[in-house]
């Protein structure tokens, strides 16, 4: 089975027949996974701030506006892009309308895929497991899609992609199939395996990490780097343009 | 000083004010460096087979047509894309017109850079040294541009980029300046440092390596993975659209 990794939303090609796992560790896919785990009914990713306000108006209440630009909360929005804000008492039963700089764009970029799953460190094993469940005779492999940061490769996403590739490889070998890795999938797995015992130090070299640290968001980083603490796997349904847990 | 790495020709952004080092280890930049080392007067990279034939006709003799499509010699061309073919007795004093799938495209993609150097394992230290010489108050850093393979990240180029980044970092620290690395520059350096004692095994996981091996081109690979055996640094001059040693 072929496993590939894309470094940025902008680099994604045709994902026809593939299962995509979209990753934006810091922080969009960590936010989506947390919000749905805490009972949000659905998350609707939208590309622009204008789209977000328009949709909130159309939905007439019961929705929350969340997201960021330049890592900061958007004026007039209910929530920023910190997963710690998406608490049960706030999000339960609600529709979250989310617009972020990288993650929501990556979800849109994956729309040619057969299945679109949302992954992060928080749910890495669950996401990899669900990806394998979606595979059938019609699907040709798994594409792990890193959101990156403003069109650039990002170490945090690469490390998480490496972890997910590693879990996929181990599970595929267990059923006596042969995993085949793209060059970037091999490199990300290699980086993950080398640094798995101190991922925070490795990821501290990321430009985006430094930006979040400068903004005083270390608690967000520590939360997002926790591995396998949530077992839900958000799924993006193209028909409804929404992310839900099914 | 800022050092960045681009994974593919297609991913390159504006390189205004930067010195670019273009890498296509297997095999275009190894071919260019070898041909010029062996006395070729210049190498003119062109995008298409048609362009190559047209230019050869315009130049009326004294030129050699070289390059590949799908790693194979192009019908009617004098030379393929094996550096071992570019011997002194064949290339000395000649203009080589070169068209390849990835490398010549990467050179074209770097045209917004202030200076464009050609790098590979064969001349890594020389290329890094020359890049540092080009820096002035008007230049903002070095961009290492991997050609990649058909629009995809390639492990051979990534390892060579990592080596060149490592040499740059060590030289910059020696003059008491602070190197700043993009996320991908950090990752490539990390991969290189981890695997430097057995680069061939690391690079054997590259899809492009396997393709060359299947075509019986292991001698090419072994030649291209030799480090610092040539001290010439080919420079692409936009004005003349040619690569030369100055």
DSSP string covering B11-22, please?
G----TTEEEEE
Residues B94 and B118 in one domain: no
Q: What is the pLDDT of residue A176?
A: 86
Q: Is the dihedral of CA B152, B153, B156, B161 positive or negative?
A: positive
Same domain, B79 and B129: no
Judgement on whether residues B125 and B235 belong to the same structural domain of the protein: yes
Quote the ipTM score: 0.95
Q: Assess B132–A contact: CB distance below 8 Å, yes or no.
A: no
Q: How many CB atoms lie within 10 A of CB A207?
A: 16
Give the pLDDT score at B69: 95
- The residue out of B70, B103, B136 marking a domain boundary is B103
Q: How confident is the model at residue A246 (pLDDT cuts 50, 70, 90)?
A: confident
pLDDT at position B33: 98
How many independent structural domains does chain B possess? 2
According to DSSP, residue B238 is labeled T
Final residue before a domain boundary, out of B103, B124, B154: B103
Q: Are residues B68 and B161 in the same domain?
A: no
Q: Which domain holds residue A157?
A: 1-246
Give the tens place of pLDDT for each residue, A61-80: 889 999 999 999 999 999 99
> What pLDDT is attached to residue A196?
97
Is the distance from CB of A158 to CB of A188 less than 8 angstroms?
Answer: yes
Ranges assigned E (strand) in B120-173: 141-146
* Out of B13, B153, B208, closest to residue A184 by CB: B153
Q: What are the C-alpha distances in Å from B215 to residues B25, B70, B72, B208, B220? A: 17, 10, 9, 11, 11
- Put simply, the answer to whether B153 touches A183 (Cβ < 8 Å) is yes
| Three-state SS at B10 | helix
Residues of chain A with C-beta less than 8 angstroms from the C-beta of B7? 7, 11, 153, 184
**Do both B116 and B226 map to the same domain?**
yes
Rounded distance, CA A179 to CA A194, Å?
20
What's residue A140's pLDDT? Answer: 84
- Are residue B174 and residue B148 in the same domain, yes or no? yes
Cα(A198)–Cα(A195) distance, integer angstroms: 6
Specify which residues B79 forms β-bridges with.
B66
Q: Does A12 touch chain B (CB under 8 A)?
A: no
CA A99 vs. chain centroid, Å, equals 13
Is 90 exceeded by the pLDDT of residue B32? yes
Q: Tell me, what CATH number does B217's domain have?
A: 3.90.1560.10
For A2-16, A132-146, B227-241, which range has the lowest pLDDT when averaged over its residues? A132-146
- Condensed to tens digits (0 to 9), the pLDDT of residues A138-195 reads 788 999 999 999 999 999 999 999 999 999 999 999 988 899 999 999 999 999 999 9
A114's tokens: 């057969």
Whether B103 contacts chain A with CB within 8 A: no
Q: Do residues A187 and B155 make contact, with C-beta atoms less than 8 angstroms apart?
A: yes
How long, in residues, is chain A?
Answer: 246
Q: How confident is the model at residue B140 (pLDDT cuts 50, 70, 90)?
A: confident
For residue A138, what pLDDT is reported?
76
> What pLDDT score was predicted for residue B139?
80
Q: How many CA atoms lie within 13 A of B97 on its CB side?
A: 24
- Which pLDDT score is estimated for B189? 98
Q: How many CB atoms lie within 10 A of CB B246?
A: 7
* Tokens 């306000």 belong to residue: A53
Q: Specify the pLDDT at position A60.
A: 86
Final residue before a domain boundary, out of B103, B118, B147: B103
Residue A137 in this model has a pLDDT that exceeds 80: no
Distance CA B216, CA A188 (A): 29
B138 and B96, same structural domain? no
Note the maximum CA span of chain B: 53
Q: CA of B93 to nearest chain A CA: how many angstroms apart?
A: 38
- Is it the case that residue B119 has pLDDT exceeding 90? yes
DSSP track, A117-140:
EEE-GGGHHHHHHHHHHH--TT--
A35 has a pLDDT exceeding 80? yes
Q: Strand, coil or helix: what is B102?
A: coil
Q: Is B201 found in the same domain as B126?
A: yes
Q: What is the pLDDT of residue B136?
A: 81
> Does the CB of B153 have a partner CB in chain A at under 8 Å?
yes
Q: Does A52 touch chain B (CB under 8 A)?
A: no
How does the average pLDDT of chain A come out, rounded?
Answer: 96
Residues B145 and B36 in one domain: no
Average pLDDT, chain B: 96
Q: What is the pLDDT of residue A97?
A: 98
* Contact assignment for A184 to B11 by CB distance below 8 Å: no
Q: Do B36 and B245 form a contact (C-beta atoms < 8 A)?
A: yes
């Amino acid at each position: 089975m072929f496993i590939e990794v894309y470094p940025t939303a902008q680099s994604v090609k045709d994902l026809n027949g593939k299962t995509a796992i979209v990753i934006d560790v810091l922080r969009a896919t960590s936010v989506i996974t947390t919000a749905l785990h805490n009972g949000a009914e659905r998350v609707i990713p939208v590309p622009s701030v204008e789209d977000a306000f328009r949709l909130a108006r159309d939905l007439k209440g019961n929705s929350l506006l969340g997201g960021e630009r330049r890592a900061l909360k958007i004026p007039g929005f209910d929530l920023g892009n910190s997963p710690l804000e998406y608490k049960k008492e706030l999000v339960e039963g609600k529709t979250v309308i989310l617009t972020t700089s990288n993650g929501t764009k990556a979800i849109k970029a994956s729309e040619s895929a057969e299945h679109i799953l949302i992954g992060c460190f928080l749910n890495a094993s669950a996401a990899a497991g669900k990806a394998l469940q979606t595979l059938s005779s019609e699907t040709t492999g798994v594409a792990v899609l890193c959101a990156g940061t403003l069109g650039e490769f990002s170490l945090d996403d690469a490390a998480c992609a490496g972890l997910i590739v590693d879990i996929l490889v181990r599970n595929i070998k267990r059923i006596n199939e042969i995993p085949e890795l793209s060059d970037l999938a091999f490199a990300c797995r290699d980086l993950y395996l080398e640094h798995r015992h101190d991922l925070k130090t490795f990821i501290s070299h990321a430009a985006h990490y430094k930006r979040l640290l400068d903004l005083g968001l270390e608690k967000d980083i520590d939360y997002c780097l926790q591995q396998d603490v949530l077992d839900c796997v958000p799924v993006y349904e193209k028909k409804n343009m929404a992310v839900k847990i099914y």
